[in-house]
Each structure stands twice: as C-alpha cells, then as structure tokens.
Chain A
Amino acid sequence: MRDTLLLGILLLSPLVTASLIFLISLFFKNTKQTIYTLLALAGSGISAAIALYISYHSYFEKQIFSSHLFTWLNIGDFTIEVALKADALSSFMILFVAPVSFLIHIYATGYMSRDKSYGRFFAYFNLFIFFMFLLVLADNPIIMFIGWEGVGLTSYALIGFYFGDIQNTYAGNKAFIVNRVGDFGFLSALMLLFLSIPSGGFGFSNIFLSLAHIEPFTLSLIAFLLFVGAMGKSAQIPLFVWLPDAMAGPTPVSALIHAATMVTAGVYMVARFAPLYNMTPEVSLFIAYIGALSALFAALIATKQYDIKKILAYSTMSQLGFMFMALGVGAYSTALFHMFTHAFFKGLLFMAAGAIIVAFHHKQDIRDLRGIKFPKIFIMMAVASLTITAIPPFSAFFSKDAIMGALYASGHLELFAMAFVSSILTAFYMSRLMVVLFFNKGEQVAKESPKSMFYPMMLLTLLSVFAGLLNVPELFGGDLNFSHWLNLADKIYTIPHAKEWALMAVNTLFIALVIYNTYKKYAYTNAIIVEKNYGWVTNKFYIDEFYNKTVVAAIDKLSHFFEKTVSSFLIDEKINLTALAYLKLGKIVSMTENGNVRFYALYMLLGVVSGFVYLYWMLRSAV
C-alpha cells in the first residue's frame, strides 16, 4: 500500500501538473506566470522528494518498492501487468533523474521567464518527467516502451518548441523520424521476446528466467534489435544525426532531455537487460565497438564546431559512447556510474551555455563570444569542463577512469586506444571552448544571471565535484558502494594496482598536456578565427549529406513512385472511373423521367404487356 502510494504520487504528480498547466494555458489566456511556475515546481519537486526517499531506502535498507496497478492484457496464461517496481537500478535512475529535473525546472523558470509560451513549455516539461519515470520504473518492457515513446514524443515537441522558425520544426521531425528507426528495433525485439517466452508474465524477472530456453540465434537477434533501439535514443552511430539538430530547442530542454536524462535511456535499457547481454557476448562486443566509434567520431567533430550548444551536443554523444563501451565489455555499473556523473556535469555545462546565450543576446557562435566577462558562470563552467575532461578529483575522473580501467582489463586494447584518443580529444575541445570564451580580449560584459538560474547551477557544480565520492574504487580506499548497491551482473575485472596507477597517471598527464597546449594556442590569439573551417571534420564528415543522398532520397523516390503509380493510377483513377460510369448511367436512366404524363402511360402499357406475356408464357408451360 505504501509502495503504491509512493510510486503513484511520484509518477502522477508531474502528469497532473502537466495536465493542469495545459488546461489553464488553453482556457485562460492571461494567466500569471507565477501560477505556472508554482504548478511546474510542485510537480517536479514532489516527485524529486519521493525519489530521494525511495533511493535512500533502497541504498541503505536494500528495500524494493513495487506496485501492481492493474492487469492490462490476459491472453491464455500470458499476462501483461501494469506494474511499477523500484529495485536498485530503478532507484539509482530516479536518484539523479528526479533531482536534476527539479533543478533544471528551477533554472527554466528563469531562462524562459520572458517567453510568451511559458505555460506550454512547462506542460511539455512536466509531461516529459512523467514519461521518464514511467520508463525507468516499469516492471516490464511493454510499460517501459510506453515511457520510451513518451519521452520521444515530448522531446519532439520541445525541439520544435519555437515553431515560428520552420528549421526548428524540421529538427523536431528529424529527431522523431530517426528515433522511429530505433523504436522499430526495440519493438521487433519485444515481439521476438513475446514469441520466444513460453508462458507466464512478461515482467523483467520472468523474462530473465526464461532466457535460457531461447535458442542462441534468436537471443542474439533480440539483443541486437534492443540495441538498435538504444542507438536511436542514445544517439550512437549510425542513428546519431538527430542529436546535434535537437539543440534547436530551448537550452533547459537540451540540458535535461538531450544531455542528462532521455539520451541515457538507451544505456539504462542495455543495463536493464544485462542478463541477456551477458549471454550474447558477440552482441556485447558489437555494442562496445559502436560505442567506441561514436565516442571517437563525435569527439573529432566537436573539435571543429563553433556553435556552443553543438559542441556540447557532440560531447554528449561522445560520453554516451564511453558508456556503451563500458556496457559492451560487461562493466554495467561502471557505465551507469558515468551516466550518473554525466547527468550532473553535462546538465551544468548546458545550463552555463544557456546562461551565456541569454546574457549575450542569443549569440551562440564562440567566435562572436570571444573573451566574455562572466566570472560566476566561468567558475562553474570551468569546474564542469575539468570534470568532463576527467581531471582528478572531480567526479568524472572516477567514473571515466573506471571505464578506461575496465576497457584495458577486458583485453580489448583497440577499444582502450579509441577511448584514450576520445578522452584526449574531449580535453581538447572542452579547453578550446573554455579558452576561446573566457581567455581572450573582449569588451563584452554580461549582466548577472537571475537567481533562479544561478542557484540550481551552483548545486549542480557541487554535485559534479563530489558525486564521484559515491563510487570510489578500492585503489583510493573506497569500496565501490554504488556497484554493490546496483548489484548488476557485472563482469569483474581486476588489474594490478601498479598498472591502474600507471594508466591513471598517463591519462591525466596527457589530458593536462592537451589543456596546456590548447591554452597556448587559443588564449589571447585569433587562432579560432583563422583556423580552417572547411573540410571533412568541420562538415561533420558529410554524414547528413550522405543520409540525404541515400536514405532520404531513396524514400523520396519510393514515395513518388507510390504516389504516381499505385495511389493515383491504380486506385484513384479506377475509383473515379467507376463513379463516372454511375454518373453516365444515371443520366441515361433519368431521361425516362421527363414529367410527360403520356410517357408514363406508355411505360404502364409496356409493363402491362410484359406482364401479360409472362403470364401467357407461364400458362403455356403449365399445360
């Protein structure tokens, strides 16, 4: 009962507030922003409080919260339940999703304060949290899929939030359509699972029990198709093209949806299906390679981007690649821990970018923003940048280093090398961004950010710095609290401490060198202006153009073919012909109805005569 109440309120408070905001903004045009603010903050605040309560009890008392709401489908002995369950993994997810959502909500009240669609924004935003909770709290993949689609939908709505510019709408469409490809994979995997599982419920625990009965090929196919879903949601090669364009949305959206929470849903999903992936090592390895390629590729593109949000978008994709590498070698809790720290520092980076964008009149090009003076934001952004480049002792140092260690220990040195290069590139593009923004001669001085934007960022700064302490490896005297809590089917890698120290030292040394050299190159020079901004890297390896030429053009051709031949020739024309025939026939028949009484008499006569002929013929044949 207590579980149902807690989970129910956690789930429903964002949904109810979203509906309320939506209704109010629909019927009362002149509502004060305060009302929307109160509703939005109440919705996310209540759920954040409950989420903290749940994860507290999960962490310290190993409690599992579960709530069975109702039975959705009952086919023979197969049932699909609408059930929520907060086990360690789900509690871990809501532990960062809910508070980060709440903080970004507060930030958004400042960021969006002069927007005329304030109400609509928070209606979508709260709806998004509802779907995100549904996604992470679902006890079976069907409910998870509902949340999965829901976050996609709200993401689409928020990317195209400024629909006055058609380009933003196109970006929303692109995100939605590319995600459809991934969802197709997810859905096919679910259908295969549904067919392969003999009987009983479709809950996660039951699925994992029945995995052993599925033949290996089907199992691999399911694992692969599930990962296709993750590719779409988490922007991995080849389905990543939507994420950079998704930056068309308001910056709080980029911070919450396209950095901290929604894009990590793919990582969560793979971790959730950890027992499945442990049984399919070849698919796991494939995931690791895709992750490594994505990390490297995105980091490479980010080094030549000029839009502050695009840099961060590619950086998100790159960090997600790191997480998938860790998932692929079976270090699930390591990947999740990086996701945890990533939510804080990447959310913070986007919020800082948003603060800069607001303060400097919606300029986003770092070449226009050279040498800005914005001390408070600078400190926070510097902390976040040092965190993402994995400088000790910031949080991502622990999480990223754990990933590197796992990659090295897994024996896949090519993966380790790619991760190492990506990490170096990360250091380069982040310090390039920071140096160009803050270490240049410039006259632009910003006015202070509003308090509602400043304080959430400060909290996130603290979290970015200290979140790493929650999962300190034993090397530093910690005992990997998080990994023990999550208790996933991790593969345990152990490497000698000396090697671990060496890896860490080399990594940090290289990163420090890169930061120093970047500073020397870009600080107080016009290097950013004169560097060549053409070629393969600047144009993102022409991937968008390639997709447009192949996939989009092919579908376009096919649609035209169907439109011309099938639709208009085979269907429309034939239907029109039938209609035309009836029209002509009707014209002919209606000529008999000429209103002249003598013709009617004639028809009567004809009728009588034919009646008599028939009668005569009947009598003749009767005799």
Chain B
Amino acid sequence: MLKAYMILSILLFSIGVVGLISRRNIIVIYMSIELLLNAVNLSLIAISADMADSSAQVMSLIIIAIAASEAALFMSLFVVLFRNRASLDANLFDILGNKHA
C-alpha cells in the first residue's frame, strides 16, 4: 500500500519539476512549486501512517501552514512583477544575468 502512495508522490513531484522548468507563466511555476510541496507532504503522511508515528503528520501540517503564508507572499509578488513589465513571462525577468552587464 505504501508503495502506491510513494509512486503517486513521485509522479506528483515529477509533474511539478517538469512544470517548474518548462512553463513560462510565473503563476503556473508557482502552482508547480505547490505540487512539489504537496508531493512531499503526501510521502510524509504515507510513511507516518505506515510506521504508526504521528510526528511526520505534524511536520506536514506545518508545511501546509507555511505554504499558505507563502501563497500570500507570492500573490503580492505577482502584482509587483506585473506592474513592472505588464507581463508574467518568467523569461522577461532576467536582469541578474550577465547579458545586461
């Protein structure tokens, strides 16, 4: 049973990674990050249930709480970024790179 949960978790994580790298919309990138977080949460809870130890469930609750506050932060970031460039294309935001040096 644990194996199925873990496979699901890995699948979710992989989808998140691919989304993170391949999508250009910053909101979609944010959603991919949430997927990564939740894939990890899922694996934590599954292992916790399997080992009959609830401490990992506490940890995942904390992660969910942090993810919620992170969501608020991201929302404000989106607004600021959109005001700057009138777009949310991640490729536009590269002024830390060397081509502008």
Contact = CB atoms under 8 A, between A and B. Distances in A.
A594 B99 contact: yes
Interface string B11-41: 0000001001110100001000000000000
A594 B94 CA distance: 7
B20 A593 contact: no
Given A596-B91, A597-B90, A598-B90, A605 B97 contact: no
A477 interface: no
Given A605-B17, A605-B21, A598 B97 contact: no
A601 B94 contact: no
Interface string B84-101: 000000110111111110
Contact of B98 (A590, A598, A601, A605): A590
Interface string A588-604: 00110111111001100
Q: How large, as a class, is the contact surface on chain B?
A: 10 to 19
A596 B21 contact: no
A597 B93 CA distance: 8
Per DSSP, are chain B's interface residues mostly helix, strand or loop, or mixed? helix
Contact of B21 (A590, A594, A595, A601): A601
A593 B17 contact: no
Contacts of B91: 596, 598
Contacts of B20: 598, 601, 605
Per DSSP, are chain A's interface residues mostly helix, strand or loop, or mixed? helix
B89 to A, nearest CB: 10
Contact of A596 (B22, B97, B100): B97
A591 B99 CA distance: 9
A590 B99 CA distance: 10
A595 B94 CA distance: 4
A591 B29 CA distance: 23
A455 B2 CA distance: 121
Interface string A570-600: 0000000000000000000011011111100
A598 B96 CA distance: 13
A596 B99 CA distance: 11
A527 B17 CA distance: 110
A82 to B, nearest CB: 61
A602 B90 CA distance: 14
Nearest to A600: B96
Contacts of B97: 593-596
Nearest to B95: A595
A320 to B, nearest CB: 71
A476 B97 CA distance: 103
Contacts of B99: 594-595
Contacts of A590: 98
Nearest to A596: B94
Nearest to A590: B98
A595 B29 contact: no
Contacts of A602: 21
Nearest to B101: A590
Interface in A276-313: none
A598 B29 CA distance: 9
Contacts of B29: 597-598
Contacts of A591: 98
Contacts of A597: 29, 90, 93-94
A598 B95 contact: no
A593 B98 contact: yes
Contacts of B17: 601, 605
B90 A595 contact: no
A598 B95 CA distance: 13
Contacts of B95: 595
Given A601-B20, A605-B21, A596 B98 contact: no
A595 B22 CA distance: 16
A170 B22 CA distance: 75
Contacts of A596: 90-91, 93-94, 97
A217 B90 CA distance: 88
Nearest to A594: B97
Scoring A593, A601, A605 by chain B CB atoms within 10 A of each residue's CB, the highest score goes to A601
A366 B20 CA distance: 100
A601 B91 CA distance: 13
Interface of A: 590-591, 593-598, 601-602, 605
9 contacts: A590-B98, A593-B97, A594-B99, A595-B95, A595-B100, A596-B97, A598-B24, A601-B20, A605-B21
Nearest 3 pairs of A and B residues by beta carbon: A595-B97, A595-B94, A595-B96
